[in-house]
């Protein structure tokens, strides 16, 4: 159980500078997730901590040891860092049985044979693979191989655990099950866990803290799941954490107007809104701003609501109905539960008119990174 610290770490590959001056601290025993799109650099962070890459600049510290220093050009080799890694493709060795795979780290540490077998078997039990010790990987399912990888990472009681998108190759049901198991394991072993993924569901479900990273390798926000979901620092974070509606607006005289088409949107602050998270000094006269909300936060009605809308698309997705509503040049994505829809007479057809309101709106300055197509 150690802490991990990055200090002004930079790393380039050829022309491309993937990480620029990245600094952060992961607390001992914490479950820390880096959440970001593919190719943003989050895997590089894992590889730097593990020792498969050396930073160009900056230092990396695990516990009390500085394991890498860019200015001196050295890095402690991976085998000396006391880490456990679970790779995206599991990396379970195909020519060794389950038990042999899990025994390997203990063999490398020259743990006496009797004790090693005991500990390995215990690790196998811990991941619910008891009885399968003599199987070869090709005889196992994806989820089982993943568990072997986990057991192998845990068995040597490492100071930190690094997990790089370990669940992306599993089907949806298994993913749900496994993320719960990973969380349990982390709690019971009290390891510091760094989890890296592009799946916001997993990140929200298991993390103590989440760092949202953008394509340029910069942390946009670091906070608890609640903070990151409910109080996003910018449109990028908001969009990454779920389906987002963005409404480009221009503020004039305390009112806002749609950028597309110029219709009036809402006055600010609007007493109809139940809750408004004000992003400080967002609205200045003449300035552009962005209103944002989730599809479920769009309130539809046949008769009441501040805005007029027209249904341009309807899709029945089973338990949810998904609508695209045009509120005057800007298209919103609205979702409501099918049952609610039928009970409240909110089953619109394409071309129908409706009234639109919001149960909650977030506000962001300028164009931000939200100047993208909605939905």
Q: Please say which residue, 33 or 82, places its beta carbon nearer to another protein.
A: 82
Instruction: Report the DSSP pairing between strands 320-326 and 331-337.
Output: antiparallel
Cβ at position 101, least distance to another protein in Å:
9
Cβ at position 240, least distance to another protein in Å:
24
Q: Please say which residue, 109 or 252, places its beta carbon nearer to another protein.
A: 109
Cβ at position 343, least distance to another protein in Å:
26
Q: Please say which residue, 43 or 245, places its beta carbon nearer to another protein.
A: 43
Q: What is the rounded distance in angstroms from the CA atom of residue 169 to the CA atom of residue 76?
A: 31
Nearest Cα to 373, choosing from 237, 246, 235, 261?
Answer: 246
Q: Which residues bind another protein (CB under 8 A)?
A: 50-52, 64-67, 69, 72-80, 82-85, 87-89, 91, 93-95, 104-105, 108-109, 138, 149, 152-153, 156
Q: Please say which residue, 119 or 152, places its beta carbon nearer to another protein.
A: 152
Extract the tokens encoding 10.
Answer: 């930079």
Cβ at position 94, least distance to another protein in Å:
7
Cβ at position 158, least distance to another protein in Å:
9
Q: Please say which residue, 160 or 266, places its beta carbon nearer to another protein.
A: 160
Instruction: Report the DSSP pairing between strands 65-69 and 57-62.
Output: antiparallel
Cβ at position 62, least distance to another protein in Å:
10
Q: Please say which residue, 13 or 180, places its beta carbon nearer to another protein.
A: 13
What DSSP state is assigned to residue 369? Answer: T
What DSSP state is assigned to residue 189? Answer: H
Cβ at position 195, least distance to another protein in Å:
16
Q: What is the rounded distance in angstroms from the CA atom of residue 84 to the CA atom of residue 51?
A: 12
H-only helix segments in the chain? 42-50, 98-108, 113-126, 142-154, 172-189, 200-206, 225-230, 235-240, 338-343
Q: What is the rounded distance in angstroms from the CA atom of residue 153 to the CA atom of residue 164?
A: 12
Q: Please say which residue, 9 or 292, places its beta carbon nearer to another protein.
A: 9
Q: Please say which residue, 83 or 251, places its beta carbon nearer to another protein.
A: 83
List of residues 6+ apart from 234 with CB closer than 8 A: 220, 221, 364, 368, 369
Cβ at position 138, least distance to another protein in Å:
8
Q: What is the rounded distance in angstroms from the CA atom of residue 283 to the CA atom of residue 281?
A: 6
Q: In which residue are the tokens 């962001």 written?
A: 364
Q: Please say which residue, 104 or 219, places its beta carbon nearer to another protein.
A: 104
CA distances from 171 to 37, 168, 300 (A): 20, 8, 34
- Cα end-to-end span (Å), the chain: 41
Nearest Cα to 29, choosing from 277, 209, 203?
Answer: 209
Cβ at position 338, least distance to another protein in Å:
18
Residue 134 CB: number of other CB atoms within 10 A?
A: 10
């Amino acid at each position: 159980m150690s802490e991990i610290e990055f200090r002004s770490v930079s790393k380039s590959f050829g022309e491309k500078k993937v990480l620029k001056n990245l600094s952060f601290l992961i607390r001992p025993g914490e479950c820390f997730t880096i959440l970001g799109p593919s190719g943003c650099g989050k895997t590089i962070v894992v590889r730097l901590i593990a020792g498969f890459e050396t930073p160009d600049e900056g230092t990396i510290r695990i516990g009390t040891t500085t394991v890498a220093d860019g200015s001196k050009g050295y890095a402690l080799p991976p085998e000396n860092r006391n880490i456990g890694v679970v790779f995206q493709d599991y990396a379970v060795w195909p020519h060794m049985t389950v038990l042999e795979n899990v025994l390997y780290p203990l063999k490398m540490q020259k743990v006496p044979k009797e004790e090693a077998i005991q500990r390995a078997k215990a690790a196998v039990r811990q991941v619910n693979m008891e009885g399968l010790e003599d199987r070869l990987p090709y005889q196992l399912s994806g989820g089982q191989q993943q568990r072997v990888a986990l057991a192998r990472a845990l068995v040597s009681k490492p100071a930190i655990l690094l997990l790089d998108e370990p669940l992306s190759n599993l089907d949806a049901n298994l993913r749900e099950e496994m993320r719960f198991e990973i969380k349990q394991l982390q709690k019971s072993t009290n390891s510091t866990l760094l989890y890296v993924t592009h799946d916001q569901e997993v990140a929200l479900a298991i993390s103590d803290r989440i760092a949202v990273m953008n394509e340029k390798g910069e942390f946009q926000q670091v906070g608890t799941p609640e903070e990151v979901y409910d109080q996003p620092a910018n449109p990028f974070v908001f969009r990454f954490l779920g389906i987002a509606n963005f409404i480009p607006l221009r503020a004039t005289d305390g009112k806002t107007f749609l950028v597309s088409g110029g219709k009036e949107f809402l006055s600010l602050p609007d007493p109809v809104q139940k809750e408004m998270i004000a992003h400080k000094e967002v609205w200045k006269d003449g300035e552009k701003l962005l209103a944002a909300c989730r599809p479920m936060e769009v309130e539809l009605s046949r008769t009441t609501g501040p805005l007029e809308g027209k249904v341009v698309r309807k899709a029945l997705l089973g338990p949810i109905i998904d609508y695209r509503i045009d509120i005057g040049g800007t298209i919103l994505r609205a979702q409501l539960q099918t049952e609610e829809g039928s009970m409240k007479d909110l089953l619109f057809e394409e071309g129908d008119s409706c009234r639109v309101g919001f149960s909650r709106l977030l506000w962001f300055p300028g164009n931000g990174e939200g100047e993208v197509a909605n939905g």
